[in-house]
Each structure stands twice: as C-alpha cells, then as structure tokens.
Amino acid sequence: MSRTTIADVAREAGVTKATVSHAMSGKRPISDDTRAKVLAAAEKLNWVPSQSARALATQKANAIAVVLARDPEVIANDSFFPAFIAGVESVLAETETALILQVVPDRAAEERAYRSLSHGRADGALLLDLRNDDWRVPLLEELDLPSVLVGAYEQPTRFSCVRTDDDAPVREIIAHLRAEGHERIAHVSGPLDYVHSRVRADAYTDAVGGDALLREGDFTASSGRQRTAELLALPDRPTAILYSNDTMAIAGLSFARSSGLSIPRDLAIAGFDDDHLSPHLSPALTSVSSGPAARGRAAARLLQADILGAEPRTEVVDCNVVHFRESTAR
C-alpha cells in the first residue's frame, strides 16, 4: 500500500497542496471551512505531515545543533556529555525536534559548521565549552542563529545563558581537605581557556592562597596520569589533589596506588562531574555531581523559547552537589 501524501489530502479536500500546507502550518489566512475540510481529509486518510513537510510549511528546520571541537576520546570517556545530551533530547522529544551533533577537529571546521547550520540546517545552537572571549559568540550573532550559552559567560551578549556555580563546590572540597589536616593541596585543572576550568582554578587558587600546585590538564586520563606524576615527583609533594573531572581523578588515583601510595592515608583525591563509576571505586571517589541532564533540559527549553522570539535571559541551575567519600576521609 502506497504512503499517503499531501497531494492525496489536497485531492480529498478539493484544494491545492499549498492550501493544505497553509492549513497545517497556520501561517496564512484561510477560511475556517477550508481548514476544516483539510483537517477532515487528513484525518480520514490518516495523514501526518513529515518533518520535512512541516519544515517547508513553517520555514523551520525542526532541528537544533551542538558542535563540539573536542578530542573524541574526551567525549567518549567524559560522563558529562551523554547526560547533557539526554537532558536535551528529553525536551526535544516533546516537539519531535531533531538534534544535530557534529564533532569537528579545529576552529576552521567549527566555523564552517556554524555557517552551514545558519543556512537552514538548524533553527538554533547550544554552545558548550565556552572560552574566555569566545569567538563563536560574535560569529553566531553575525549569522543571526539563535543560541544558548552553557556556562558562566561574562561578556556582553544578546544570547540566553545557562549557568551553574562551579566556585562553591571547589571551596567546599578545599575546606573539607583542610579540616582533614591537609596543607599542601594541588589542583589538576581542565584547559584554562575554558570558562568552567578557569572558574574552578580561580576558586582553588583563592582558597589555598596561590597557584604553586596548580597543573593544567586536558580532561583526558593520560593528562591526569601525567600531571599526577609531576606533582608526586616534587620534593615536597602534595598530600591531596583535586581534579577538574573524574576521568583525570581516576587515572591519578591509579597512578598513585601503582606508586605505592595508600588512598587516602598518603594522598587524598577528589574529582568533578561524579562519573557513574566513582562511588564504586576502591576507595570510593569524592566528587561533585554537576547535574548535566538538568542543564541540558534548561538549555533546550531556553533555546526553544528564543527560536520563537522570547527575550534572552540567564537561568541559574542549582545542581552542583559535593559527595564526600572514602578517597578524602583520613
């Protein structure tokens, strides 16, 4: 049996295909009688407009985009991204909106991706991994592509923003470590051109009073291992290390144990993002659950509103919770 088309509905209702399109989209004025005939024909033939048909009728792509310029290894191993995407998808499913996820190798490819998206491939974009003075923000403003910034972006912008407080949990962990008797506390950050990495690093340096034990990683397990090795090779090594994600923390914990250190007796370790494996390690890893799914839901709802013409706004998602576990308990 052949699939029902818009032409079949037009023939049944005795109108043109354009009239069917106008009746379904509500974009053009047509009489109530004509709309009723079209809807009755569509119901009789059990016809529902396809996504492409709806896009043609509304001049919308019915899709939003996320472009990531990250090493695929980081995306594959970082617990944040799958949970964030799941939160986004839970909102988009309500309106049958598609999500375009594109991974690019460098800035040039990222810019090409956004220019392509602005030519009708997507109705808007979610910006993750915000950088200080992020070049993508003015580009998307120039392209007039509705966007939501996920992170604490401090520069003037006409885009909506979803923020969380990454400062407070870092200070809370430092205070806990000090209460446990630690004085030499190190931090392995993410790339410091990322806004969220810088916020966490600044909170750390302010809380401990300096950056002598700050080391920059890149969120991969290999960088966590390398930076841990550098810190433990110091003549006066740290007795505690806070990592900017759990992937680096787990790699650091493994290296420390292979070096003969007992966790947490000889070295306390804490992470960030609370990977699903972190509570099941031995010892269980102290970490910060950062609510990526909640952030994804908030970002998707803001973007949907912005696409429909809402005024941009900033939404603070209060979702960071520190889970103190055996890896920091002496």
Q: What is the CATH number of the domain that holds 52?
A: 1.10.260.40
Write down the residue that tokens 């919308």 correspond to: 60
Number of H helices, E strands in the chain: 13, 12
Q: Are 185 and 208 in contact (CB under 8 A)?
A: yes
Q: Tokens for 103, please give them.
A: 């991974």
* Residue at 1 is within a domain: no
* Residue at 215 is within a domain: yes
* Residue at 203 is within a domain: yes
- CA-based R_g, the chain, Å: 25
- Scored b (16 or more CB within 10 A) or e, 131-167 reads beebebbebbeeeebbbbbbbbbeeebebbbbbbebb
Task: Note whether 92 and 172 are same-domain residues.
Answer: no
Hey, what's the torsion of the CAs at 100, 23, 9, 49, to 10 degrees?
Answer: 10
Question: Which pLDDT belongs to residue 40?
Answer: 85
* Residue at 70 is within a domain: yes
10-residue mean pLDDT profile of the chain (330 residues): values are: 77 86 69 84 74 54 90 78 93 91 92 92 93 92 94 86 94 96 97 93 97 95 96 97 96 96 96 93 95 94 90 90 94
* Residue at 77 is within a domain: yes
Question: Which pLDDT belongs to residue 42?
Answer: 81
| Cα–Cα dist 259/302, whole Å | 48
* Residue at 82 is within a domain: yes
Task: Note whether 179 and 215 are same-domain residues.
Answer: yes
- Scored b (16 or more CB within 10 A) or e, 258-289 reads eeebebbeebbbbbbbbbeebeebebbbbbbb
Q: Is 129 exposed, middle or buried (0-12, 13-18, 19+ CB in 10 A)?
A: buried
Task: Note whether 296 and 312 are same-domain residues.
Answer: yes
Task: Note whether 104 and 125 are same-domain residues.
Answer: yes
Task: Note whether 175 and 215 are same-domain residues.
Answer: yes
Number of domains the chain is built from: 3
| Cα–Cα dist 118/120, whole Å | 6
* Residue at 229 is within a domain: yes
Task: Note whether 171 and 282 are same-domain residues.
Answer: yes
Query: Of 15, 41, 58, which residue is a domain's last?
Result: 58
Task: Note whether 153 and 297 are same-domain residues.
Answer: yes
Task: Note whether 43 and 139 are same-domain residues.
Answer: no
Task: Note whether 299 and 157 are same-domain residues.
Answer: yes
Task: Note whether 261 and 296 are same-domain residues.
Answer: no
- Tell me the sheet residues that pair with 240: 185, 268
* Residue at 51 is within a domain: yes
Residue 281 gets which letter from DSSP?
A: S
Task: Note whether 116 and 177 are same-domain residues.
Answer: no
Task: Note whether 297 and 155 are same-domain residues.
Answer: yes
Among 218, 196, 72, residue whose Cα is nearest residue 130 = 196
Q: Tokens for 302, please give them.
A: 């803001």
Q: What range defines the domain where residue 11 resides?
A: 6-58
Residue 209: CATH number of its domain:
3.40.50.2300
Q: Tokens for 90, please give them.
A: 């839970």
